[in-house]
Structures are given as C-alpha cells and as structure tokens.
Amino acid sequence: MPKTLLEQLRACTVVVADTGDIQAIGEFRPQDATTNPSLITAAAQLPQYRPIVDGVLLEARKELGAAADEAAVANLAFQRLAIAFGKKILEIVPGRVSTEVDARLSYDTEATIAQAHSIIAQYDAAGIGRDRILIKIASTWQGIRAAAVLEREGIHCNLTLLFGLHQAIAAAEAGVTLISPFVGRILDWYRTDTGKEFYEAEDPGVISVTRIYNYYKKFDYKTQVMGASFRNIGEITELAGCDLLTISPQLLGELESTIGFMPRKLDPVAAKKMAIERIVMDKETFDFLHESSRMASDKLREGIDGFSAALVKLEKLLTERLAELENRVPATV
C-alpha cells in the first residue's frame, strides 16, 4: 500500500508538533511538542482552553491573596501559563515539551538563567523530570551563554530564533541539547529582499538548515538539529532525515493526506565525507558574522520583538480575564 509523506518522514526524522493547541497534538501524536509566546497567546484565547487560563489565574490570586492588585496576579499567572500548557501537552506526547524563556530577557544572561530555574522548579514540583523539558532560549550570544550554564546543571535547552551557521556553531560548542534553525522565516526575508520565489532545494531556508546539519555531522557535535518555521511541505520534504522537524498542525495534515515518494535528503554518513572547513567560534567571530548577515540580524531582532509583543498581549488578556472572573462577568477572552 502506498505510504503518506508523514509516514515516510517518521521513518527517518523525529516529528514534533509546533503548536499550543492541545487538541491538535492529540490528533497527530508527535514524539515531542514545541511552543512559543505567539502560540501560547493564540491558544489562550480559544474557548476550549479557558479552563486552563482560569485555573492559573485563580491559583495566582489564591497565592497572592485578596490584597494583591490585578496586575500582580496577572503577572504571576503569565509566568505560569506556559508551564500549565506544557503539563497538559506532556500528558499526550511521550517525549519532551519546549517551554520558552521570556523573549524580553534575550540579551540578559543572568535573567535568562534565573527564569529557566523558575520554569524547571515548577515542572519539578509537578513531578515532571528534566529529561522531558527543553528550556527554549533565543540564539543571542547572551542566550547561548545562559544555555551553556544550564546544560552544565543538567537542564536541557532548545536554542530558537536561529538563522545562521555562526549561531549554530556557538550553540553546539556550548553543549546545548537541541537547536531550532528557522526555515520559513529565512525564506520570507529572501523573498522580500530579492522579489524572487524559491522552490525545493533552492529555498534559502532549506539551504541554511542543510548546511548546519552537515556541519554538525561532519564534526561529530552531539547537539540535535530540529528544523522549524515551515511555509510549505516542500521545505519539509527537502529536509527529510534531519534529526527532528517541528511542524504546524496544518502542514502535518497536508503530509498525512499526501501520497508520494519522499527520499531521505540529509544523511550523517554522507556529511562525514564532505569537505567542510571548521570555524573557530568566539564572541568576536560571532558578532562579526552576525553583523555581516543582514538576514540573520534582521530576523533575530524581528523574532525577539514579535515574541515580546505577543507576551505583552498575553499579559493584557490575562489582566482582562481576571477582572471578568472576579466581577462574575461572562467570559469573552
């Protein structure tokens, strides 16, 4: 019987769901799941997840007491909502969930470490082991340094908003567990910058992740590569064989409903035979390479700004919802 693209992909790549929608995760049964501030904010507004939001808000109110103002209660709830979704997700997936540090801390190493400790403590209190959690951190130099400290403490990290080989090398040399190089956002940038369309193997996002994968396998880095941010299933099929791919429910559905042949494109054995020059990475080199890439500089900044804006929106939604709960007004959020 002919196989779907999703079946074939699962044979050579770990499939991860890129969503905060718990129902969608249950439908596709991925190994792992990833979330980000935008996904959590979107999920928090869906009626089916209102009990999770309300539960977190009421717990925060109970902990802080009646005298605390709504802003303080909403802020505490905000800090805990992603963990609440993470715990629900871990009831479905057999593997790991990625929970993201506040994007507004992306250039503050110590604050990132402190929030990562807080996230892990909350999962620890729920009886969830560290082997099931990835702390998601933006791939700034400061974020990578925070991840290096956390990994030495046995806290596993997922470096996100990664757009260039320089970020990938720095993350691998820091000993991080996993990186999430973006595909679709790179494609978006080049489409806008050049006015051209790119397809299949010529897609600059596909080229970037392929280069990172081959570099890692050539030099035996243990850090896993998880391609992320896809715009179409063609980008996914071009990266078949990558360690992991995190995919939206919409594209998972397309892969599941499509019959066709999907050859493996990325292969560690082939990568070992490639002539690839090793790059020594330090802060000076990192900064130079980052500033030299308009795409990486633009997309990292844009990604941090976008996730930060989503967090501001989420804080506002939680404050409004708390007021509704305490005034006994029917829910609208």
Residues known to be catalytic: 136
HEC secondary structure over 189-220? HHHHHHCCCCCHHHCHHHHHHHHHHHHHHHCC
For 285-294, the CB contacts below 8 A with 24+ separation are: 285/166, 286/141, 286/166, 286/167, 286/170, 287/141, 289/164, 289/165, 289/166, 290/164, 290/166, 290/167, 293/163, 293/164, 293/166, 294/193
Cα separation, 15 vs 226, whole angstroms: 9
- Who's near 20: CB < 8 A, 6+ residues apart? 35, 39, 40, 42, 43, 44, 85
Amino acid at 44: A
Cα separation, 320 vs 324, whole angstroms: 6
